[in-house]
Structure 1
């Protein structure tokens, strides 16, 4: 039977409390303990229909509070039915496009689920499957999964979706961008037709409307805001710089106090830029699809807990990654699409907080960036500047600190009987070998390898940027190679 036309609803004029919306006291107490007192508009709009068992389509920009909107609905409804857990048969399914988003959803949900004696778990690739199989066999109420790994478990018979009462698709448009829709459709086909379905997305393009028509029955649509809705507390700046100054400007911004997320277009670009920042004295970690899951988790945790304050990432971090108090987002490479610009920028100014977004632009990128900001519907202040400009202190306030360089040990004299080994120790090939091929004799290479391997780089004792003038030269020396990799239209990509 074809789904009926969605009914458009408006956001309630006043915002009630969670209790007034129907959220049980056990959950409101947990919310209050974490500082969540009043619902955001997307939560106030969607919860009444979701708690009533309706299929819901929620549209809202990144950072609008969609996670609590569906988590509270799912847990409340499961607690009301109180069905027993069955091995390999979850009662609710939440599909997310990335591992980081799946982990974050579960971390938000876990204390709430515990208050209702409900069990949750995550399933995604990049980690061993055996613990996931064990968890599924033990029984789970809410399964948060990435489509690919869940499909593997279903095919192997470790998971069955015939007992799913509620299905949730989070960041559905991003699922489409990543090519997951065929797998998502196959998974949803395995859930009961009578089950409730909630779909949350920033937009309805990229094939998301196909999912709505196919799987949602008489859905209520709540469009609280769109991807182009302005964020009052977010300011946008475009810094017009010479290509050779780009890296020095970036070092200045990231050496300031406060959390900064720096975006690159490619995985190789993120890796290279992280190494150069670490060599220049900035404590930074990388996040991209070439890292093993353990490294991704460690690096994101280091950024979240403040061990490092700069995260260099591809668009893998543009959706669903929420870290409190990100003061600055820097587009080191302007993204290709305006939607990517908006989602990247949404890592700051979240949940009503303020934030600053900076795009670095060279002469050759000017037409591209102008078109990008026009399509994104934002008004950015464009300033031509050089390193040391006073505006950099306004955009990223505070004293600049760079990690102190470790003292290089004195090289032992090479034995006369082993000239070949001595030449090999000092050769560029030796300094550039990978982790399997031995260690570099250069201190900066050692510290960069720490970042690329996924081990958080400690901030060190730190010292004023004025005491690191030698490092500013090192920052400038890396500008040419960095700029070459940042040219629009270059090869590479992925997450």
Structure 2
């Protein structure tokens, strides 16, 4: 059995790994760590969930040099905030064991903590390209002393249009840098990065290039637009944990409300949510407190949740590659999964092209819910004091409350119409019933006269 110590990892890190119950390296770690720890450029193709984070993280921890303020010595670039946080959560406990600081920077959150962390000095910086360039423009850090750079999920960064900023960032790093690249595929723009920025890289390929399209059951159902919500609800009730893809943020939010009205526990994730909202959404879905995740393509990057039985294309993907990315959320680790695409008549040509690009051929048929396998799914109770769950419960009754408020307003107006107008009869201070000013002296005289009259009347026999 190969151990981490056999790969060149020092005793302090080995001990820290053992404390977490990690003793035997995965294949991608066995293959890539020895070359990375020797300082070679490495180009590795490996699927999500294969142990890539430790494969590049351990060599960084072993080789990184102490950093000065605002000048990290190692950099990990990643496409999404979720991936940045995930990498940090893996590396921070190990870094603490050897006195190395790790910091993540990404958009959607305040600059304050990120600026403070850079000021204090950080050896390993985990960053999304956009926020990193923003911080560099603010002169919050420099990359001239960064001598190790890792590109994680390089293919996804290419898909999301980050290649230009990634190239700009690489060129800001030390010319004597080591460049390590990890990707699920090594084609197109990724191969250009390898050729341009890596020096005689060691190429390593582990596992299948991507989730096999043959491992999924594909259904293309002819569904009219106004029937899509009903069919989607039936599918997820039978299939259990599912991801539904929409084209726009507005579409995601609208579908969330429609499914909630049908009694389905769901949560949205898209670029319009702030970081805390996205974290809560992913936590609810991954822990089983909600059954359905409704997502846009960009927001779904980096989602790696086990046990997803079904993917629904509520709106069509952009192309065959996007269809594979969506479908790749299911049928993982040797399990089966289903992909259901809604095909209104206006989208038939789009789906014909997508099938051709993917290399599959299926007929467009009417929905057949009975052919889907049934999967039981039991919701986990919400955490005590979870605001997001209270918010979703409030959302269910929002429409009902709005109607009742309108009724109350209407009945209030009706009652007001029936009420007699008392405005002219109200007594104003210092004004008589005809609107004339009262004379204080006269009013006192009048009151004395009236009292005198009363006493005279009482004295009469």
2:40 to 54, 71, 74: 54
- TM-score by length of structure 1 reads 0.71
1:193 to 175, 191, 199: 175
Aligned residues: 397
Q: 1:229 to 1:309 in 2, by over 3 A?
A: closer
Where do 1:200-219 residues align within 5 Å?
200-219=182-201
Taking the aligned partners of 1:32 and 1:370, their CA distance within structure 2 comes to 51
Which of residues 242, 263, 285 is equivalent to 2:223? 242
Q: Does 1:418 align with 2:413?
A: yes
The residue that corresponds to 2:268 in the other structure is: 286
TM-score, with structure 2 as normaliser: 0.75
Does the 8 A contact of 1:256 with 1:400 survive in 2?
no
Does residue 397 of structure 1 match 2:375?
Answer: yes
Q: 1:184 aligns with which of 155, 166, 179?
A: 166
**2:335 is matched with which residue?**
354
**Gaps in structure 1 of 5+ consecutive residues:** 1-14, 423-495
CA 108–322 in structure 1, closer or farther in 2 if over 3 Å, else same: farther
2:234 aligned residue (243, 252, 259): 252
CA distance in 2, matches of 1:363, 1:406: 31
Deviations 1:74-104 (A, max 9, x none): 22323xxxx4332111121011122222122
Alpha carbons of 1:227 and 1:342: their partners in 2 closer, same or farther (altered >3 Å)? farther
Aligned residue for 1:315, secondary structure, equals: coil
| Alpha-carbon contact 1:317-1:344 (below 8 Å) kept | no
Greater shift in the superposed pair: 115-124 or 56-65: 56-65
5+ residue gaps in structure 2? 380-391, 418-461
Q: Does 1:43 align with 2:21?
A: no
| Maintained 8 Å contact 1:236/1:380 | no
In 2, distance between residues paired with 1:16 and 1:332? 46
In 1, Cα distance between equivalents of 2:135 and 2:58:
27
Residue by residue, what CA displacement relative to the aligned partner does 1:422-467 show, whole Å, maximum 9, x if unpaired?
Answer: 9xxxxxxxxxxxxxxxxxxxxxxxxxxxxxxxxxxxxxxxxxxxxx
Counterparts of 1:261-340 in structure 2, within 5 Å, are 261-340=243-322
1:137 Cα deviation after fit? 0.6
Q: 2:102 aligned with 1:102, yes or no?
A: no
For the 8 Å contact 1:46–1:56, the answer to whether it is kept is yes
Q: Which residue of 2 aligns with 1:222?
A: 204
Instruction: Name the SS of the counterpart of 1:54 in structure 2.
Output: coil
Would the aligned equivalents of 1:63 and 1:347 in 2 still touch at CA under 8 Å? no
Contact between 1:203 and 1:226, CA under 8 Å: does it hold in 2? no
Question: Partner residue of 1:70?
Answer: 56
SS in structure 1 of the partner of residue 199 of structure 2: coil
Matches within 5 A, 1:434-449: none
Contact 2:271 2:299 survives alignment (8 Å): no
Distance in 2 separating the partners of 1:35 and 1:337: 42
Question: 2:116 matched to 1:134?
Answer: yes
Pick the aligned partner of 2:68 from 57, 77, 86. 86
Check the 8 A contact 1:59/1:226 in 2, yes or no.
Answer: no
Identify the structure with bigger relative contact order (alpha carbons < 8 Å, sequence gap 6+): 1
Structure showing the higher helix proportion among its residues? 2
Q: How far 1:56 sits from its partner (Å)?
A: 0.7
Find the aligned partners of 1:416 and 1:289 in 2 and give their Cα distance.
Answer: 42
CA distance in 1, matches of 2:153, 2:187: 12
1:372 is displaced (CA, Å) by: 2.6
Map residues 24-35 of structure 1 onto 2, 5 A cutoff: 24-28=10-14, 31=17
Q: CA deviation at 1:60?
A: 2.9
Could you say if the C-alpha distance between residues 206 and 274 of structure 1 is closer, same or farther in structure 2, counting changes exceeding 3 Å?
Answer: farther
Once residues 397 and 409 of structure 2 are traced to their aligned partners in structure 1, the CA distance between those partners, rounded to angstroms, is 23
Q: CA deviation at 1:206?
A: 4.4
3-state SS, counterpart of residue 255 of structure 1? helix
- SS, match of residue 298 in structure 2: helix
Aligned partners of 1:177 and 1:206 also within 8 Å: no
The residue number in structure 2 matching 1:112 is: 94
Q: Quote the offset at 1:332 in angstroms.
A: 2.3
For each residue in 1:332-389, what CA deviation from the matched residue of structure 2 results, as whole angstroms up to 9, or x when unmatched?
Answer: 2231222222222232344x25241312232634454354344335x687684546x3
Root mean square deviation of aligned Cα: 3.3
**Contact 2:48/2:304 (<8 A) preserved:** no
